[in-house]
Structure 1
Amino acid sequence: MTPAINLAKKKKIAHTIHQYEHDPRADSYGLEAAQVLGQDPSQVFKTLLFCMNGEAKSLAVAVIPVDQKLNLKLAAKAAKAKKADMADPDIAQKTTGYVVGGISPLGQKKVLPTFIHQSALDKATICVSAGKRGLEIELAPRDLAALTRGQFAELCI
């Protein structure tokens, strides 16, 4: 069990766990998950951390479809920051307690502002990392928002 799965269980959130053998040669963790699980890439979301206003430790979380790119201007706007940059991977790992490629928006060591791409609202369920490579948790977007205190926002062009 990971902190992400434990949180969903503790809060009695309906969810499904999907496990697969991660291929270390895969170009994209998220697209690999969608392909292996036979899911539409628009239903599988990746977790990205970004820093605000040039401060490496002032972090926020963006949860976006695996086939999309995070627009940093939109991320800054959602976070009410002047600018946003991608977080340093080492800082992201230390802050969340998860390894890159397996960072879950759920059960992170530190509660961070979380923004979920608004396209999630069009889906009954979405998949996000469950806290390690090769492990996904499927749940309702509004449940994800409730568990992370997340907000829905436009994050991609």
Structure 2
Amino acid sequence: MSKTTRATQTLQQAGISFSVHAYEYDPNAERIGLQAAEAMGADPSSVLKTLMVLVDNKPACVILPSDQEVNLKKLASILGGKAAQMMKPTDAERVTGYHVGGISPFGQKKCVPTVLEQSAFEHTQVFMNGGQRGLQVKLDPHAAAAVLDAKVAGVI
């Protein structure tokens, strides 16, 4: 597995300090984020999942702890929309340039509005997808929010 991806290159170019962590990816896992946390022996609330959504039919990204579910009404409101829905996997892959299970918020093909769940800041370091299945980057959530120009809000 390559530990250099568009996500890691984006972080390097932005001067963000991070570490790379590989784990055994299980494509049959019911919840990929929780499987990643378990495989790495990490607290599920510190392993963040990246979800691609449509808010009023426009793409957006939301990042939240792997053991939580996004409240789509709250998310739509935060992004100034009326309704939000999960993006179809094929559309998410097309918009991000990553495969489902390896979608990183960093280095996506298209720049989309991003929301980072505020509870991520309860941790000094969080894990986020590194741009391929079985690869996570560990970094300061403040640095992640800055490089993503993310809105920080409660979306759970």
Structure-1-length-normalised TM-score: 0.94
Deviating above 2 A after TM superposition, structure 1's stretches of 4 or more consecutive aligned residues are none
1:82 Cα deviation from its structure 2 partner: 0.7
SS at match of 1:18: strand
Structure 1 portions without partners, runs of 5+: none
CA distance in 2, matches of 1:25, 1:115: 27
CA distance in 2, matches of 1:89, 1:134: 18
1:29 to 32, 46, 55: 32
SS at match of 2:106: coil
- 8 A contact 1:41–1:67 mirrored in 2: yes
Structure-2-length-normalised TM-score: 0.95
CA distance in 1, matches of 2:17, 2:155: 26
The corresponding residue for 1:11 is: 14
1:25 Cα deviation from its structure 2 partner: 2.5
CA distance in 2, matches of 1:102, 1:86: 16
1:24 Cα deviation from its structure 2 partner: 2.3
CA distance in 2, matches of 1:29, 1:9: 26
1:22 Cα deviation from its structure 2 partner: 1.1
Corresponding letter in the other structure for 2:13: K
Task: Quote the RMSD (CA, aligned, Å).
Answer: 0.8
Matches within 5 A, 1:76-91: 76-91=76-91
The corresponding residue for 1:121 is: 121
Aligned length: 153
1:147 Cα deviation from its structure 2 partner: 1.2
1:5 Cα deviation from its structure 2 partner: 0.4
Matches within 5 A, 1:126-137: 126-137=126-137
1:21 Cα deviation from its structure 2 partner: 2.0
**Does 1:106 pair with 2:106?**
yes
CA distance in 2, matches of 1:73, 1:64: 15
- 8 A contact 1:29–1:133 mirrored in 2: no
The corresponding residue for 1:44 is: 47
1:31 Cα deviation from its structure 2 partner: 0.6
CA distance in 2, matches of 1:27, 1:83: 26
SS at match of 2:90: helix
